[in-house]
Chain A
């Protein structure tokens, strides 16, 4: 159960490596012993301790293999998959890329990514509203990404819960489109607080919507003064070079030890 919104995260999540016929279901068993005296246990344990532990394990895996892992978060429909489609097609000859897709149901997004020729795994969270480090761990086991590659993790479209779950990523990329309100950053501050870069998508629609580029940045900086911005349009291709430049810089960055 997701502590943020109460949705049932563990109920029926499944992971599929697209192009292979294999479903992965996971159950947890717990056993209990017996005794009869009252004891106080000082637990002092973070509720997200298990997730954070697994996230660090993923992070170690990425570091060892020099994989740039990016966690893409946004509300539904802001263009995460479109941005990936463009990126994977345009950078095909420059980088080896992998994608993990997170959605409640269907493999529609993974099919779109698969069509670009990229290796992709689809995680269906069932009723769950976010990806967690445990799901990524299992997706990686089936995917076996190569060294010196880029792994894009497209989280479930949701500006709330995914903010709380570290997946082991190097950078968290929050995507917002100009058809959403420019006050999103302060309405959903957690997501903007935990991200390092903000991609503002659908800039080709700016003439038609009351969206202020200055305002969105001002609001976002109130929550996170270190946030970087990249303005793009996946339709017209405008600004995508800035996004590719950012990716290249991250790939070139010497590994932190």
Chain B
């Protein structure tokens, strides 16, 4: 799992042996199903330096920009049209994030 690999790499740079906290940013349009993610997380972090880490997730709501009328609007689904003009040419501004934001190491 890439999150563990990133954590291990960053921790190694700082000679850390344990991670106390990890902060993740996950966008609502990133394709991550949170219940599946939670389930996978419990299994994945076993015997890694994330095993005892407190996990904080910042969920980022989707935001679309209509390429036709420039309206900025909240987006729940990829197939949603622009609520102002009904167009489907939409540029996703926020919600695709899937990032490791920060770590607190010991």
A binds B: yes
Binding site for B on A (CB under 8 A): 1-6, 10, 28, 30-51, 160, 163-164, 185-186, 189-190, 193, 219, 221-223, 225
Q: Could you tell me which B residues sit within 8 Å of A by CB distance?
A: 1-3, 5-6, 8-12, 14-17, 20, 24, 31-33, 36-37, 39-40, 43-44, 49, 77-79, 81, 88-89, 98-106
* Residue among A4, A41, A50, A222 making CB contact with B32, cutoff 8 Å: A4
Q: List 10 A-B contacts (CB under 8 A).
A: A1-B43, A5-B33, A33-B16, A41-B103, A46-B99, A47-B98, A49-B2, A164-B31, A193-B78, A223-B78
Q: Is the interface of B mostly helix, strand, loop or mixed?
A: mixed
Which residue from chain B places its CB closest to the CB of A28 in the assembled complex?
B5
Pairwise interchain contact B12-A45, C-beta atoms closer than 8 A: no
Given known pairs A38-B20, A39-B105, A40-B104, the reply for A45 and B79 (CB within 8 Å) is: no
Q: Are A6 and B37 in contact (CB under 8 A)?
A: yes
Which among B12, B31, B33, B89 has the greatest number of chain A C-beta atoms within 10 A? B31
Partner of A5, one of B36, B43, B88, B103: B36
Do B10 and A41 have beta carbons less than 8 Å apart? Answer: yes
B49 x A47 contact (CB < 8 A)? no
Known A43-B6, A50-B5; contact A35-B102, beta-carbon cutoff 8 A: no
A63 to chain B, nearest CB (A): 25
| Residues A6 and B20 in contact in the complex (CB < 8 Å), given A41-B14, A46-B98, A48-B2 | no
Using A30-B8, A43-B101 as known contacts, say yes or no to A3 and B78 having CB atoms under 8 A apart. Answer: no
Bound complex: CA A129 to CA B44 (Å): 16
Within the complex, the shortest CB–CB distance from B45 to chain A, in Å, comes to 10
On whether A186 and B79 interact (CB within 8 A), knowing A30-B12, A35-B15, A41-B14, the answer reads yes
Find out whether the CB atom of A6 lies under 8 angstroms from the CB atom of B15. no
A28 CB contacts on chain B under 8 angstroms: 5
A190-B78 in contact given A34-B17, A35-B15, A225-B88 (Cβ < 8 Å): yes
Q: A221 to B36: give the CA distance in the assembly, Å.
A: 29
Given the complex, which residues of B lie within 8 Å of A164, measured CB to CB? Answer: 31
Alpha-carbon distance between A128 and B58 when the two chains are bound, in angstroms: 27
Given A30, A160, A221, which contacts B88 in the complex, CB threshold below 8 Å?
A221
Are B5 and A45 in contact (CB-based, < 8 A)?
no
